[in-house]
Each structure stands twice: as C-alpha cells, then as structure tokens.
Amino acid sequence: MFPSVALFLIFNLIPVVMAIYYSFFNWSGGKTMKFIGITNYIRLLQDGVFGKAIWNNLILAFFCVVFQVGIAFVISSLLCTKMLKCKAFHQFAIFMPVILAPVVVGFLWKIIYNADYGLLNFFLRAIGQEKLIQAWLDNPDIVMKAITIPIVWQWIGMYVVMLVSAMKNISGEIIESAVLDGANGIQRTLYITWPLVLDTVKVSIVLAVSGCMKLFEHIYIITGGGPGNASMVGAMYAYKTSFIKQKFGYGSTISVGIMLTSLTMVMLVNIIFGKGKKRYG
C-alpha cells in the first residue's frame, strides 16, 4: 500500500501541486521568482495561441472518439462473430501499431507525408493523380487532418483488445436467445452488445480524450506545431513556453489550463454515460 501511495505522490500529485504553485510566479529559471498572483491566468485567458492549441486538442479528441473507439467497436464486433476468418492474424495486425513508440510512429508518418519522397505522394503519382500531390504538412488547412490519421491508426488496437474482452464476457445464452427471437446481427449489436459493454466504451472514451489532451510526441516529431501554430497543441505550447522561451511560470499556467480542460472533458463523458446507463436500466 505504502509504495503505491508514495509513487502516486511522487509522480502525480507533487508535480501537479508544484505546477499550480509556479503558475503564480514570473519565473525564468534560477533563484529569482516574482509573485504575480493570477496575472498568468488572466494572460492565459487572453492568449490566442493557447486557445488555438486547446481547440486543436479538442478536435483530435473528437476524431479519436469517433474513429478510434468507433472503428474499434465495429472491428471488435466482427472479431466476436463467425463471419471473420484468420482472427489471430487480424488481431495481431490491428494491435501491432500499439507496441510502437509514438516517436517511431511520428517518424514513420512524417516520411509517408514528405512532399518530395513520401509514400503518399509516390502512390498518387503512380496512379496518375498528380493533381492531388501536395506538401501535406505545410498546408494549414489540412495539417490537423493529416496528424489525426497516425494517432487514430496507432491506438485502435488497444481499444479493440478492451472491447473484445468485454464482448467475450457476454453470456452466450443471451446471444442464443436473441438469435432464436429473430434478432439479426445489427440488432444484437445495438440492443444487446452495446448496453452490456457500455462501461468499457466509457473507459475507452475517457482514455481517448485524456490521451489527446496530453498529446505531444506525434506533434513534436511530425510538425513541431507548425506550420505557424496550425497544429499546435497544449503540451507542445507548454513545452515551447517553458523550455524554449524559458518562461517556466507561464508554462506551468498553461499546464494547469490543460489539466483543467482535460478534467472538464472527462467529467462531461461521465455525465453523458451516466445518463446512458440510466436509459438502458
């Protein structure tokens, strides 16, 4: 018990408390720290870059919930039926990206998107679609869409594992009764599987949302937050403010802002799914 509490305090609670403490100071490193009250928080509310960064986090969270968890649910449903063959191969192929480090995934997709020698432009050229070729990571209008794809691709497998485990725990007698009552596959999924795995879906969505709110490695490797601030996210902005500009006080304020936004999103998910559980009884 004590080691667990100690680890929680050292790696979770203490850093949060220290970030909140430093957020009330104008501190650029060293021994000189000037207390400025809530000035950093007032500045944060007026900071357009922070607003853009958090908006990008929310966009990523939305797409990850829809595509990561949504696609994972569909794949899991197929893996739990007799329709799909070679299930072991499909499970391995889907889960493989999860074991890769985010840095590796970032480099891989940066190569794919490269304007000069990237695989995507090479493929478009090979099929005679030169008009679609472009610098994917240099276009502010599409860079967030380009970044979303590798993030979704990497983590679908984790949610598939979670949902398949939940679906396999559903009693076979319930499914057999539904089949005897004439329910087709879609009806069984919507009215039996979905309500019974709702808790697992909620956990998956919470993980997807919280993961997107602290996203850093993919952005750092693929775009660095560019072009301009088009793909800037909260963690990247906090990093640049703290370690590039040496404004540790304001960087701590940004971190607190990210944490509060993330907690708010998780609370909303819990509220929504709380109503969902009441609906299904």
Domain count for the chain, please give it. 1
Lowest average pLDDT, out of 7-16, 121-130, 156-165, 206-215, goes to 7-16
Give pLDDT tens digits for 35-74: 999 999 999 999 999 999 999 999 999 999 999 999 999 9
Average pLDDT over residues 254-259: 96
How many residues are present in the chain?
281
Give pLDDT tens digits for 185-235: 788 888 888 989 999 999 999 999 999 999 999 999 999 999 999 999 999
Q: Which residues, in sequence order, are bridge partners of residue 34?
A: 26
Q: Tell me whether residue 35 is in a domain.
A: no
Q: Tell me whether residue 38 is in a domain.
A: no
How many of the other CB atoms lie within 10 Å of CB of 179?
A: 12
Higher pLDDT, 257 or 188: 257
pLDDT exceeds 60 at position 267 = yes
Q: Tell me whether residue 257 is in a domain.
A: yes
Domain extent for 143 = 55-279
How many of the other CB atoms lie within 10 Å of CB of 44?
A: 17
User: Angle formed by the axes of helices 198-213 and 248-279, to 10°?
Assistant: 160
- CATH classification of the domain holding 141: 1.10.3720.10
Q: Tell me whether residue 44 is in a domain.
A: no
Q: Tell me whether residue 24 is in a domain.
A: no
Give pLDDT tens digits for 150-167: 999 999 999 999 999 999
pLDDT, residue 230, reads 96
pLDDT exceeds 80 at position 91 = yes
Q: Give percent helix, percent strand, percent coil of the chain, each to the nearest 5.
A: 75, 0, 25
Q: Tell me whether residue 29 is in a domain.
A: no
Higher pLDDT, 190 or 145: 145
Q: Tell me whether residue 71 is in a domain.
A: yes
Query: Which candidate, 107, 139, 112, 109, places its Cα nearest to that of 124?
Result: 112
CA–CA distance, 134 with 25 (Å, rounded to integer):
45
pLDDT, residue 9, reads 67
Query: Which candidate, 102, 86, 216, places its Cα nearest to that of 158?
Result: 102
Q: Tell me whether residue 30 is in a domain.
A: no
CA–CA distance, 86 with 91 (Å, rounded to integer):
9
